[in-house]
């Protein structure tokens, strides 16, 4: 069976993490299928929520995370156009089919009256159903008038790939609006027409659409189209696990994670595993692994808890994996993440730095805070030295003497390489009878004044002889001792 899936976002500006997950599963399913096709469709019929530039943001984010669509904006294809606002004639044509069958009617009721009906129902503690107020006289429908579906409420049954066998009671079915007064279709109508005309075989979307399924089933029936398979995805839960993940729960948008320096490989891996697993203990999956192993029956019915720590952990795993595969290629992706002071330095130098810090990065964003001392002299901070846990056991005189010894010994080095530096530092350790935390800590802090740095011999080797000795001497001067 040919699998055709789609991602159908609305261009409202903010790409919620849950939305992006809804883009991944249909992609994986389509890619598992030899003739499978994955369509991107922009659901832009809600003009009030439309945000300029949002479509570009969606396309950009999908490309970034590696979800290349087979048909859609910028790609074309046999089922276009792919913007709902460009498909008006198609909806009208399908709406007319319903009018002809007596299953849709023009609604002349002013919106104030509809509001009154709603109030009345709420006063009587009844669920509001428009079909209880269906107008007795309806004019011939023309553009500019809302067009409503004429519901035929009854018990309806369907199977959901995640939620199982479902029943929709008659009370869930109503005279929903198909075409609004502005001439554009509602989501409720448009997606059904689009999915049918685009040959969609599986629809993936959030569980918030479950209550509307009664209406959708009625529409499939009235339009005489075969319903696709339904894959409703459970909510992503807040880290506390007791409510739906909201904007305020610390989850950023995909765009923000990208700007923070999260790798798309990690993001894809993380989101795909938010509510799906393959039954093994594995945690790191490439896109190809996901395509190979994804299956609908392993999507969890319970909501998955959003755990940002896991995303950061996966990002670290991916940094290491990609570095092992091709360090230069990974380095090339760090552009834009370096501190401003790095602008004057060439790629060779920055690559050397990257090679010694990459395994400590949580995100590329850490480059900004972890590497400035490679590009500019740090200001000497004597408090940082003297309050250090290992160093405060020594007097200032002792610290100063140690630094002098180290500076002299390093100054004699013929070859300034990581190996020679390691050898010399070990010799110094033996000579001074200090603990590594003390001696190396002192030198490390004196050249970096940073809370973390890579292995000392690597750091000094990249900084170079001149810079290292100058920084050590600057600290010696600050001690102001003979």
Binding residues for ligand GLU, per CB under 6 A? 8-10, 43, 187, 191, 203, 205
Minimum separation from the CB atom of position 56 to ligand GLU (A): 16
Q: Cβ 463 to ligand GLU, closest distance in Å?
A: 51
Cβ at position 466, least distance to ligand GLU in Å: 58
Closest to ligand GLU by CB, 193 vs 361, is 193
Six token digits for residue 152: 């035929």
| 27-34: Cβ within 8 A, 24+ apart | 27/67, 28/272, 28/290, 28/291, 28/294, 29/3, 29/5, 29/202, 29/204, 29/294, 29/296, 30/3, 30/4, 30/5, 30/70, 31/291, 32/3, 32/291, 32/292, 32/294, 33/1, 33/2, 33/3
Kindly tell me which of 54 and 274 has the beta carbon lying closer to ligand GLU.
54
Q: Which is nearer to ligand GLU, 45 or 371 (CB)?
A: 45
Q: Which is nearer to ligand GLU, 203 or 263 (CB)?
A: 203
**Considering beta carbons, is residue 9 or 185 the nearer one to ligand GLU?**
9
Which of 41, 350 has the CB closer to ligand GLU? 41
Q: How far is the CB of 208 from ligand GLU (least distance, A)?
A: 8
Q: How far is the CB of 228 from ligand GLU (least distance, A)?
A: 10
Backbone dihedral angles phi then psi of residue 167, each to the nearest 5 degrees: -125, 135
Residue 477 to residues 75, 307, 371: CA-CA distances in angstroms? 65, 48, 25
Q: Which residues pair with 204 in a beta bridge?
A: 231
CA atoms within 13 A on the CB side of 271: 30
d(CA 203, CA 25): 10
What the block records as the tokens of 478 is 């600050």
Q: How far is the CB of 205 from ligand GLU (least distance, A)?
A: 4
Nearer to ligand GLU, 57 or 385 (CB): 57
CB atoms < 10 A from the CB of 315, how many? 24
* Of 276 and 440, CB closest to ligand GLU: 276
The terminus-to-terminus CA distance of the chain in angstroms comes to 85
Nearer to ligand GLU, 231 or 406 (CB): 231
CB of 114 to ligand GLU, least distance (A): 24
User: What Cα–Cα distance (Å) separates residue 463 from each residue in 62, 103, 352, 353, 451?
Assistant: 39, 77, 10, 9, 17
Two tokens at 160? Answer: 């959901």
Give SS3 for 163: coil
CB of 10 to ligand GLU, least distance (A): 4
Sign of the torsion formed by the C-alpha atoms of 20, 54, 338 and 335: positive
Q: Minimal distance in Å, beta carbon 34 to ligand GLU?
A: 24
């Amino acid at each position: 069976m040919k699998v055709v899936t789609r991602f159908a976002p609305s261009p409202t500006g903010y790409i919620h993490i849950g939305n992006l997950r809804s883009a991944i599963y249909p992609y994986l399913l389509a890619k598992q299928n030899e003739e499978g096709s994955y369509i991107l469709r922009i659901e832009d019929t809600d003009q009030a929520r439309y945000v300029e530039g949002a479509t570009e943001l969606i396309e950009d984010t999908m490309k970034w995370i590696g979800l290349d669509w087979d048909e859609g904006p910028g790609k074309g294809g046999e089922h276009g156009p792919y913007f709902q606002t460009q498909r008006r004639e198609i909806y009208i044509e399908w709406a007319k089919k319903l009018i002809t069958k007596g299953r849709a009617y023009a609604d002349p009721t002013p919106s104030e009256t509809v509001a009154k009906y709603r109030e009345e129902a709420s006063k009587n503690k009844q669920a509001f159903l428009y079909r209880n107020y269906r107008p007795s006289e309806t004019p011939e429908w023309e553009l500019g008038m809302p067009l409503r579906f004429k519901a035929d409420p009854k018990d309806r049954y369907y199977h959901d790939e995640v939620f199982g066998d479902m029943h929709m009671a008659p009370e869930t079915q109503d005279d929903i609006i198909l075409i609004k007064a502005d001439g554009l279709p509602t989501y409720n109508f448009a997606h059904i027409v689009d999915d049918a005309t685009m040959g969609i075989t599986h629809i993936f979307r959030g569980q918030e659409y479950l209550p509307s399924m009664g209406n959708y089933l009625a529409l499939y029936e009235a339009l005489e189209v075969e319903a696709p398979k339904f894959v409703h995805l459970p909510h992503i839960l807040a880290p506390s696990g007791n409510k739906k993940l909201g904007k305020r729960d610390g989850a950023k948008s995909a765009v923000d994670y990208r700007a923070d320096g999260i790798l798309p490989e990690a993001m894809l891996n993380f989101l795909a595993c938010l509510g799906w697993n393959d039954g093994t203990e594995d945690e790191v999956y490439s896109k190809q692994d996901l395509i190979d192993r994804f299956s609908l029956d392993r999507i969890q019915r319970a909501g998955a808890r959003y755990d940002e720590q896991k995303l950061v952990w996966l990002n670290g795993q991916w940094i290491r994996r990609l570095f092992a595969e091709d360090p230069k290629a990974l380095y090339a992706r760090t552009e834009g993440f370096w501190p401003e002071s790095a602008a004057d330095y060439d790629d060779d130098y920055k690559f050397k730095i990257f090679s010694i810090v990459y395994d400590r990065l949580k995100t590329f964003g850490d480059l900004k805070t972890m590497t400035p001392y490679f590009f500019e002299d740090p200001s000497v901070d004597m408090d940082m030295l003297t309050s250090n846990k290992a160093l405060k056991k020594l007097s200032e005189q002792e610290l100063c003497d140690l630094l002098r010894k180290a500076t002299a010994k390093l100054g004699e080095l013929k070859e300034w390489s990581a190996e020679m530096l390691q050898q010399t530092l070990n010799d110094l350790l033996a000579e001074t009878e200090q603990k590594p935390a003390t001696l190396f800590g002192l030198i490390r802090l004196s050249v970096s004044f940073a809370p973390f740095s890579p292995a000392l011999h690597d750091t000094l080797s990249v900084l170079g002889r001149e810079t290292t000795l100058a920084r050590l001497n600057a600290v010696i001067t600050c001690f102001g001792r003979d």
